[in-house]
Amino acid sequence: MRACLVVAALLYGGVASAQERSEEELFGKESDEKAKEPQKPPGAPPDARDGEDQDGKRLMETFVPKDILSDKLQIGGLVYMQLGWSFTDGDSLVDHPLSSPNFVDLYLDANPTDRLRAFVRGRLKYDPTIDTAVTSPILAATGSTPKQVDVLLDEFWLKFDVGRAMFVTLGQQKVKYGATRIWNPVDVINATRRDPFAPFDSRPGVPMLKLHFPVESLGWNFYLLGLLDKVTSLDRAGAAGRVEMPWSCDTCKTDFTGEAGVVGAYRKLETGHFGKLGVDLSMAIWDIDLMSEVGLTFDDASTPTVQVSSAVSYTWKYSEKDSMTFGLEYLYNEVGFQGGDGQALAALVNRKAQSLYLGQHYVGGFLLLPRPGNADLWTFTLTGIGNLSDHSGMIRFDASVQALTYLSVQLYVAGHLGDQGELRFGPESFGPPDKLPAPLNVLFPTFIKNTQVLDVGLYLRLDI
């Protein structure tokens, strides 16, 4: 009987403690600080869970020894639900598709000492709008089969230190480098680039061994990475390294700080040797932030190709407690396509390129307005992106609000502008059908019959 009560108390207290997890730790930010209780909105009534937490604590103190009550394991996650509706220039309801990609994240975070930590997070994906009996002919041509329900391992790693001088992280973990907001040419570790419109980075982690050597006297950080994804023998293993060097101007009359980073990666693939090199730079002058990235890609078949992104942002404090941020960004992509020759579509379908990296020239801008005036629970964002290579563009407005303490609600409206192209998808986005490579010259015109006009969507996120 006593054993049953102990197990019940542990489960009860574990669920209660998981509610105290912050968003930053939930998505993989490595921090030694304990998570804080989510703040209630001003004037919010007491939460029923406050009493439940105390009851659970008293129950555990009664039946469980105090040495077991230390905060060594946290359990939690989130529920994320989406509903999107895309309007086209078609006349029938079938021309305006719905989508509802939802998922549940659950994690276990074990931290028995301040020098040892293990983290596991799994994800269940569910989209009821996918009809597995009706498959897109374009996806069928690439062998892709969409699923209503799917399960994946997002993170799985163990972290410890050696003499408090070298910090080791082994397993599937999230790593992202770069300074600019929309495009990241120096993100050389991940297989795909992050979607700038996603509320957070939902890409799964990368299997690797990471060694971190901090130099506290200089504020520098050195990283060595062994890339282990799909490594069946040692000669297939990849290697990467990075150094981060912050700096400041102590003799300048104005605030002038910045950071420089250099990253490189190498791996032997079935098609030959493959390497990447990146340099990123960020600096702040008064309320202006300047950022830039340069990425080089090497392989056996060609000379190095280059991607360059540059950005500037300005934060204007228009009242004692309120501010807004403006930003502009540009990308040059040497391996991009000019559009109209069908090669961009072939690269996209064959997964040799991804959205927002198809063209050679892009420009973007954003306006961020967090908690304006008395609307302390609201955040508004206006974002615009243009593909200068095919003259297509998109403008998107997002409004998010924190409701019921633990629930986030986000609404968006996006309009597609310019010519038919990557950002205004239509029958002639990639040129006339006779210029498309087979079998896309037959499949694409029969499947894509209408042009994008407007997208609306709703996001619901509940932290648990």
Enter the tokens of residue 49: 């869970």
pLDDT at 77 over 70: yes
Task: State the Cα–Cα distance between residues 456 and 408, nearest whole angstrom.
Answer: 17
Question: Which 8-state DSSP code applies to residue 435?
Answer: G
pLDDT class for 460, splitting at 50, 70, 90? Answer: very high
pLDDT at 46 over 70: no
pLDDT class for 29, splitting at 50, 70, 90? Answer: very low
pLDDT class for 308, splitting at 50, 70, 90? Answer: very high
Mean pLDDT of 50-61: 49
pLDDT at 56 over 80: no
Give the tens place of pLDDT for each residue, 184-225.
999 989 988 999 988 888 899 999 999 999 999 999 999 999
Question: Which 8-state DSSP code applies to residue 419?
Answer: S
pLDDT class for 330, splitting at 50, 70, 90? Answer: very high
Phi and psi torsions of 15, nearest 5°? -65, -40
Q: What does the pLDDT read at residue 50? A: 43
Closest CA to 86 of 99, 76, 73: 99
Task: State the Cα–Cα distance between residues 308 and 292, nearest whole angstrom.
Answer: 7
pLDDT class for 9, splitting at 50, 70, 90? Answer: very low
pLDDT at 379 over 80: yes
Q: What does the pLDDT read at residue 248? A: 84
pLDDT class for 136, splitting at 50, 70, 90? Answer: low
pTM metric for this prediction: 0.80
Specify whether the CB–CB gap between 431 and 340 falls below 8 A: yes
The label of the residue with tokens 């008064």 reads: 286
Q: What does the pLDDT read at residue 71? A: 76
Q: What does the pLDDT read at residue 274? A: 79
Crossing angle (nearest 10°) for helices 2-18 and 48-63:
140
Phi and psi torsions of 93, nearest 5°? -60, -30
What residues contact residue 278 under an 8 Å CB cut-off, 6+ apart? 177, 178, 185, 186, 187, 188, 261, 262, 263, 264, 293, 294, 295, 296
Listed in order, strand segments (DSSP E) in 163-235 are 166-173, 206-215, 220-227
Mean pLDDT of 116-127: 97
Sign of CA dihedral 424, 426, 431, 437: positive
